[in-house]
């Protein structure tokens, strides 16, 4: 397993974090999702680069595009 911390500027509250955890956490190959409102960062624990790509794509689809 690998992990990546992503900057997500659209995070403004705990509801944002819950939505991200629910949507990204449901992806096959994602074993963990944590977020922080103050730093506007999301850490994804995943099993491969394809899974990370899908997680980033899902963030964009649900209105939380990454800054990277």
Using pLDDT thresholds of 50, 70 and 90, give the confidence band for residue 68: low
* Global pTM exceeds 0.85: yes
pLDDT in tens, 19-40: 999 999 999 999 999 999 999 9
Identify the CATH class of 2-61. alpha beta
Is residue 52 within 8 Å of residue 44, measured between CB atoms?
yes
For the chain, domain boundaries: 2-61
Is residue 27 within 8 Å of residue 54, measured between CB atoms?
yes
């Amino acid at each position: 397993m690998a992990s990546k911390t992503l900057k997500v500027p659209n995070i403004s509250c705990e509801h944002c974090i819950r939505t991200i955890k629910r949507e990204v956490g449901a992806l096959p190959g994602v074993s963990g999702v944590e977020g922080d409102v103050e730093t506007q960062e999301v850490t994804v624990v995943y099993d491969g680069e394809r899974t990370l790509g899908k997680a980033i794509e899902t963030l964009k689809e649900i209105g939380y595009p990454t800054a990277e």
